[in-house]
Chains A and B, each alone.
Chain A
Amino acid sequence: MTTLTYPERSLLTAPGPLSDTWFLTGRKLHALIRQPWVLAFSVIQPAIWLFLFGDLFHKIIDIPGFGYQGSYLAYLVPGIVAMNAMSGNMWAGMSMIEEIERGTLNRLLVTPASRLAIMNASVAEQAVSTTVQTLIIVFLGMAGGASYPGGPAGVAVMTVASILVGVLWGALSNMTGMLLRSREAIIGVYTFFMLPLIFLSSAFIKPSFMPGWMQAIASRNPLNWEVQIGRAALSASPDWAGIALRSGGLLLLAIGCVAISVTTFRAYAKNV
């Protein structure tokens, strides 16, 4: 065996949440890059929805008052983007459980690493994967004949909104995973929220075609805000005030959810 010389203790600087976030995000992204097919596979389901619904219900466009560029598939793109952002990140808690079972989370928690950074790394990973997935859906829509009058700027705005929704649900999922440490609970949360939130939004249908009570719920549904942001941003003349208002709402919710998820480390320490 060789002799260990050990680093000087003076070299051990005080790491901050920023540098911890940087290094921990690097770890997550490395894992993502090594398994790119995981990202690709995750888009298969949204792609099926896009083309299946786009084709199946293409006559919806002919309903008087629907309009929308004469393409239901184009109408669907922001809805499918929102749906993917939510469903993709609702599984974040699964990898949290895996890290708990493997002991990786505990290993990080006994180092001086910032707790905020551990959650931030998860958020950053979600942001990157959601961006890639959103862009894939945008290109699939183009391949299916959709056009985006809002141009690259509109796509960028929609992508940011999808990241916010992804972060929001990712944080909730991480929290569920850490507190309940049960995959069933995460699947339960997913099945409970996914379809109701999707169908209580304008993902598939114009709000004006909904019954009154549905419209009332949809206007308070954060997932619907994202659909509305995306659709407005992709249109020829975006309603920037509405986009700003709803984005602001999503941003506040996302920050709130991440903040709450950081505090769950306390509850975790009680039951670990």
Chain B
Amino acid sequence: MSVAIEARDLVKAYPAPNKNKPGRNKKARISALDGLSLTVPRGAIFALLGPNGAGKTTAVKVLTTLARPDSGGASVEGIDVLASPARARRAIGVVAQRSGADPTATGRENLVLQGHMYGLPTKHAKDRAGELLAHFHLEGAADRFVKTYSGGMQRRLDVALGLVHRPTVLFLDEPTTGLDPESRTAMWREIARLASADSMTVLLTTHYLEEADRLAHRVAIVDDGKIVATGEPGQLKDELKGDVVQVELPARPSERAVRDTLADVPGIRDILVAGDDGGSGRKTYVSARSDDGAAAVPAVLAALAAAGLPAASVTVARPSLDEVYLRYTGRRYSEQAEADAR
């Protein structure tokens, strides 16, 4: 296996923002990376999956020569990004979370300037810009100011900017955040195409489980600045043997009551209870794991009914990356995403 991207024990902390808080330690620092290591084989699509603040973006900034870590090392295509950043920059393409395209210039001007920054002669920079504009369906808007672009168009231009110099390694920081479902699907298709047809190595960060599951050959789950699990999506899911049984209750019994009821059902483990007092009425979602989900369903329903908790619905599913995330971080991914949104 030849390696395209490697990070070794990256550590980085930022000064804590201590505005308007006298008495707080001025030296206080917030840890962003806490010993993050990863290896990406050449030609793979590799997803860094984790909630906001997990350290995904900081990891990308270090790997793309933008930020210097406090300690640790990193290389891209065998080039040490700390010792030879200038060489590393020629090998990589970067599509950051924030666009970076100049809104007061046209799409074409942005692309031509980007070509110049990589040393393309003007004629070639223009040809290349035209080619990328056509490829990303931006020909009609090529000579309009970028500030008039829709979100999806702007994101396509961002990816085009990252591809101008034909990098062999592409970094995509949350490429589909904020896109509508249609644009997201199109972006997924393009990312998959880049990896297969153009044999590019792609490292993308995402907080969408579905994105990592559908797109990536390998997934690394990032939590608190470290990678807590890594593997192929299927392999990670297989490590969680058995099925997930999910039951919806049209009431809000105590968590303890549910747990006590299901504790005696044979083969049931890892019980999780989540309440919902939302607009659609009071509900409780119970999920548990079992080696044979289908066989466990009748016993689960019977136990609940006997305890006066009839179920509204029941599903049996293979474990998703959500369960993988839960197992390695102790938190449910959707809960984490909600906490982030608050």
A interface, CB within 8 angstroms of B:
1-7, 9, 11-15, 19-20, 23-24, 26-27, 30-31, 34-35, 101-104, 106-113, 269-272
In the complex, chain A residues whose CB is within 8 Å of the CB of B283: none
| 8 residue pairs A–B, Cβ–Cβ below 8 Å | A1-B137, A2-B134, A19-B119, A20-B116, A31-B104, A102-B98, A110-B64, A110-B92
Contact (A31, B105) CB under 8 Å given A6-B166, A7-B120 = yes
Residue B135 at the chain A interface, CB threshold 8 Å: yes
A1-B137, A15-B118 given; 12 more Cβ-contact pairs under 8 Å: A2-B134, A4-B135, A11-B119, A12-B120, A15-B117, A23-B116, A27-B109, A103-B98, A106-B100, A110-B64, A110-B96, A272-B61
- The residue of chain B having its C-beta at the shortest distance from the C-beta of A112 within the complex is B89
Q: Is the CB of B102 within 8 A of A2?
A: no
Point out which of B92, B94, B127, B190 has the most chain A C-beta atoms below 10 A from its C-beta. Answer: B94
Q: Is the CB of A112 within 8 A of B96?
A: no
Residues 11 to 25 of chain B near chain A (Cβ within 8 Å): 14-15
Q: Is the CB of A23 within 8 A of B131?
A: no
Q: Is the CB of B117 within 8 A of A108?
A: yes
In the complex, chain B residues whose CB is within 8 Å of the CB of A3: 135
Q: Is the CB of B96 within 8 A of A7?
A: no
A20 to B118, CA, bound (A): 9
In the complex, chain A residues whose CB is within 8 Å of the CB of B124: 7, 11
In the complex, chain B residues whose CB is within 8 Å of the CB of A26: 113
Residue B52 at the chain A interface, CB threshold 8 Å: no
In the complex, chain A residues whose CB is within 8 Å of the CB of B94: 107, 110
- The residue of chain B having its C-beta at the shortest distance from the C-beta of A272 within the complex is B67
Q: Is the CB of A271 within 8 A of B14?
A: yes
A269 to B137, CA, bound (A): 35
Residue B97 at the chain A interface, CB threshold 8 Å: yes
- The residue of chain B having its C-beta at the shortest distance from the C-beta of A4 within the complex is B135
- The residue of chain B having its C-beta at the shortest distance from the C-beta of A34 within the complex is B104
Q: Is the CB of B96 within 8 A of A12?
A: no
Q: Is the CB of B67 within 8 A of A112?
A: no
Residue B272 at the chain A interface, CB threshold 8 Å: no
In the complex, chain B residues whose CB is within 8 Å of the CB of A30: 105, 109
- The residue of chain A having its C-beta at the shortest distance from the C-beta of B14 within the complex is A271
Q: Is the CB of A4 within 8 A of B132?
A: yes
- Nearest first, the 3 closest Cβ-Cβ pairs linking A and B are A107-B100, A103-B98, A103-B100
Q: Mark B37-75, 1 if CB is under 8 A from A, else 0.
A: 000000000000000000000000100111110000000
- The residue of chain A having its C-beta at the shortest distance from the C-beta of B103 within the complex is A102
Residues 131 to 147 of chain B near chain A (Cβ within 8 Å): 131-132, 134-135, 137
In the complex, chain A residues whose CB is within 8 Å of the CB of B105: 27, 30-31
Q: How many residues of B contact A (CB 8 A)?
A: 47
In the complex, chain A residues whose CB is within 8 Å of the CB of B331: none
Q: Is the CB of A103 within 8 A of B97?
A: yes
In the complex, chain B residues whose CB is within 8 Å of the CB of A269: 66-68
A4 to B94, CA, bound (A): 18
Contact (A20, B117) CB under 8 Å given A5-B131, A269-B67, A272-B67 = yes
- The residue of chain A having its C-beta at the shortest distance from the C-beta of B15 within the complex is A271
- The residue of chain B having its C-beta at the shortest distance from the C-beta of A107 within the complex is B100
Point out which of A12, A15, A19 has the most chain B C-beta atoms below 10 A from its C-beta. Answer: A12
Q: Is the CB of A15 within 8 A of B96?
A: no
Contact (A111, B134) CB under 8 Å given A27-B102, A102-B103 = no
CB distance from B14 to the nearest CB of A (A): 6
A23 to B120, CA, bound (A): 12
Residue B128 at the chain A interface, CB threshold 8 Å: yes
Residue B161 at the chain A interface, CB threshold 8 Å: yes
A12 to B121, CA, bound (A): 8
CB distance from B161 to the nearest CB of A (A): 7
Residue B90 at the chain A interface, CB threshold 8 Å: yes
Q: Mark B142-168, 1 if CB is under 8 A from A, else 0.
A: 000000000000000000010101100
A14 to B90, CA, bound (A): 10
Q: Is the CB of B89 within 8 A of A11?
A: no
Q: Is the CB of A110 within 8 A of B66?
A: yes
A191 to B130, CA, bound (A): 47
CB distance from A4 to the nearest CB of B (A): 5
CB distance from B142 to the nearest CB of A (A): 14
A112 to B64, CA, bound (A): 11
In the complex, chain A residues whose CB is within 8 Å of the CB of B166: 6-7, 9
Point out which of A3, A26, A109, A110 has the most chain B C-beta atoms below 10 A from its C-beta. Answer: A110
Contact of A109 among B66, B119, B120, B193 (CB under 8 A): B66
A212 to B281, CA, bound (A): 82
Q: Is the CB of B109 within 8 A of A111?
A: no
CB distance from A181 to the nearest CB of B (A): 11
Residue B320 at the chain A interface, CB threshold 8 Å: no
Contact (A12, B67) CB under 8 Å given A27-B113, A112-B117 = no
In the complex, chain A residues whose CB is within 8 Å of the CB of B183: none
In the complex, chain A residues whose CB is within 8 Å of the CB of B89: 110-112
Contact of B128 among A7, A102, A270 (CB under 8 A): A7
In the complex, chain B residues whose CB is within 8 Å of the CB of A7: 120, 124, 127-128, 165-166
Contact (A110, B118) CB under 8 Å given A7-B166, A102-B103, A271-B14 = no
Q: Is the CB of B119 within 8 A of A13?
A: yes
Q: Is the CB of B100 within 8 A of A2?
A: no
